[in-house]
Homo-oligomer: A and B are copies of this chain.
């Protein structure tokens, strides 16, 4: 026998999470998650799932019946959208202005489809003009994929305009809303978005590990008309819908992450209680206060004011400052996590999140005061 290791129960410290996610989680959400586990086919659980679907539809501002939470993190939500819609040989216009556009490209290529990449510089939004040009040059394209809130740079792209252009060219739009859902304006039906995915651990302030997704009726039709089977069994939505269908007869696909779904239900319930527009306004307000304070500390934003995400503040590390040392002091002395730069911005930027429950006066005050002391 390989002998048993002897470890103690893990007791994490209480951190203030102001990185790119996971964000601070409301005590009510943690409490909901720790309720006793019941069966994933229990009638009471199924009733909760029906409520969860309504709450997701509200958060996405959609009436799409095919709205659910993938039982895995946001990157699985991304893959769910791509593998269900895109078939081998298809052409997809992929907008890339940060890490997650590049990840979309990799998803497309692993399907055996062709990605036509529309590049914009890191820290700038996707250019609608370039997307339209790419569509003109690639009449065979069937999809336009873009990131609403690019977590690696803190930039917001104009999904409403680009989804409308996609539709003009008879393309479906696939939108990454991992960092946007619940934090900034997003209207799936009004904007004509065809497939969208998000993550539980950003502006929803739920525990990490779940990915809300929604598909328009046009997208559902596309899935039904596929000529190749979906390459993933686990993510095949035609199978998953047997469980989420809400027709009262849930068929077993996989064991749902019961406790995580309790938490998601509670976090969405709190969002509905506050109201989406109030949540968006709260994120804007806290962002303004943070930005004012950062400017006073001489810290500059990477993104032009008009394109900045309130919930993800990417700032340039001031010259002469030791990136790792500052983040480590914030963590060890103030229990405050802010995010490092990712990809091209590694070592050059910090990413300060104000997501969901973290978009609070207390957090802004702590962050400014801690930075002030550590940078002094």
Contacts and interface: CB of A to CB of B under 8 A. Distances in A.
A38 interface: yes
What's the dominant secondary structure at chain A's contact region? Answer: loop
Count identical subunits in the complex: 2
A36 B14 contact: yes
A273 B4 CA distance: 7
A201 B255 contact: yes
Contacts of A232: 79, 110, 231-232
B4 A42 contact: no
Contacts of A3: 58
B36 A5 contact: no
B55 A36 contact: no
A286 interface: no
A148 to B, nearest CB: 17
A12 B262 contact: yes
A259 interface: yes
A38 B337 contact: yes
A14 B34 CA distance: 12
Nearest to A103: B233
Contact of A79 (B4, B62, B234): B234
B36 A34 contact: no
A5 B58 contact: yes
Contact of A55 (B5, B63, B255, B266): B5
Interface stretch (A19-27, A163-171, A311-319, A363-371): A19-27
A173 B68 CA distance: 35
B10 A51 contact: yes
Nearest to A209: B257
Contact of A269 (B7, B14, B41, B272): B7
A347 interface: no
Interface in A44-62: 44-45, 48, 51, 54-55, 57-58, 61-62
B9 A75 contact: no
Contacts of A57: 2
A25 B2 contact: no
Contacts of A62: 2
Contacts of A40: 22, 208
Given A4-B275, A207-B258, A232-B79, A36 B58 contact: no
A30 interface: yes
A19 B233 CA distance: 24
Contacts of A109: 229
